[in-house]
Amino acid sequence: MPRKFFQRFLPKPQTIKENKTLQIFGDWLHEPNLWHLNRRSVAGAFAVGLFCAWMPVPFQMALAAGAAILIGTNLPLSIVLVWITNPFTIPPMFYFAYIIGTWIVGEPATDFSFELTIDWLLNELAAIWKPFLVGCFTAASISSFIGYFAIDGFWRYEVAHRRKNKPHLKK
């Protein structure tokens, strides 16, 4: 059941292997263990994807793919989860990260308007970079931790529930 649930949302292996951004990984994209759907690989993919989604860098997909290859989690799911950050969700997510960062660093929050422009990056980010990055790393770590254990727990629950309801699967 959990495997079929996640399989519905994943892109086909050929789609990922043909992505120009991910070509930097070459033959590593063909590693069969990166395409398996099991409890460990899916929970790990959630951890990787959610962590990378909070990183305020371009090419988050490549970052997630590299981490998935290095750790050995499900590659497509790691990449898909990065798309939690998109043009609609970036401003509230990064503002939330900034607020968390100001709380941790102990600096007062300043009023600013968020824009996805080079001018904003050069001028505004210079003033708020420290709490912003601390908040991004904190939010990434917490969401990664919660994502891993939530999916791991969900998977275990589904398997136990299925075994309980099907006598031939009991040990």
Lowest pLDDT segment from 24-33, 78-87, 91-100: 24-33
The mean per-residue pLDDT over the stretch 45-68 comes to 93
Domain ranges of the chain: 2-169
Q: What is the pLDDT of residues 57-93, one digit of tens each?
A: 888 989 999 999 999 999 889 989 999 998 899 889 9
CA dihedral 118, 123, 125, 130 (to 10 degrees): 140
Count the residues in the chain. 171
- Please give the structure tokens belonging to residue 28: 């590593």
Residue 125: its pLDDT value, please?
A: 73
Give Cα 137 distance to the centre of its chain: 12
When pLDDT is cut at 50, 70 and 90, the band that residue 129 belongs to is confident
For residues 62 and 24, which has the higher predicted lDDT (pLDDT)?
Answer: 62
How far are the Cα atoms of 58, 59, 104, 134, 136 from residue 129, in angstroms, in the given order?
Answer: 16, 19, 13, 8, 10
CB 48 within 8 A of CB 67: yes
Residue 7: its pLDDT value, please?
A: 65
pTM higher than the cut 0.75? yes
Long-range contacts formed by 112-118: CB under 8 A, 24+ apart? 116/87, 116/90
Residue 91: its pLDDT value, please?
A: 85
